[in-house]
Amino acid sequence: MLYLDTAVVLTLFVREPMSESVGKWIASRRQPLAFSDWGLTECASALGVKLRRGELDANFAGRAFQAIASFANESCELIACAGHHQREAQGLLTRFDLPLRSGDALHLAISQHVQATLVTCDKQLMAAAKAIGAKARDPLAS
């Protein structure tokens, strides 16, 4: 199973320089996809930030979030973020040698818990995944 982080999912629905490459990589995979309700929350937040920065308008942001939610519910195993995921993320965050932010630690904990390969373009998240022996792939490096 491939667990997609927020940035990977967001780039599928909001035009970024890497959107086409990531989309082709995802489309070529045969493994089932997974995403989390935490990722949906982060997508809503990222769209709001882009809206406030003037990078997109409210109409587009609303349509993009609906498309992301549909993708998550229809094309992915949608994993509910649970208390044990948060405790696992806290454990990762208190390993101060890991270059993790809280949201990334939660993605890593969720992907580890469901024994999925984490798909991310984030170099720090990739480094943390490798440091703990987690399976991770960068769709741009393939």
Under CATH, what is the fold of the domain 2-137? Answer: Rossmann fold (3.40.50)
Supply the pLDDT for residue 74.
97
pTM of the model: 0.95
Instruction: Using the CB atoms, write b or e for 83-117: b if 16+ within 10 Å.
Output: eebbebbeebbeeeebebeebbbbbbbbbbeeebb
At 50, which amino acid appears? Answer: K
Average pLDDT for runs of 10 along the chain of length 142: 97 95 95 97 97 97 98 97 96 95 96 97 96 96 75
Largest CA distance in the chain: 42
Give the pLDDT score at 83: 96
Q: Coil, helix or strand for 2?
A: strand
- Return the domain boundaries, the chain: 2-137
Distance CA 132, CA 92 (A): 9
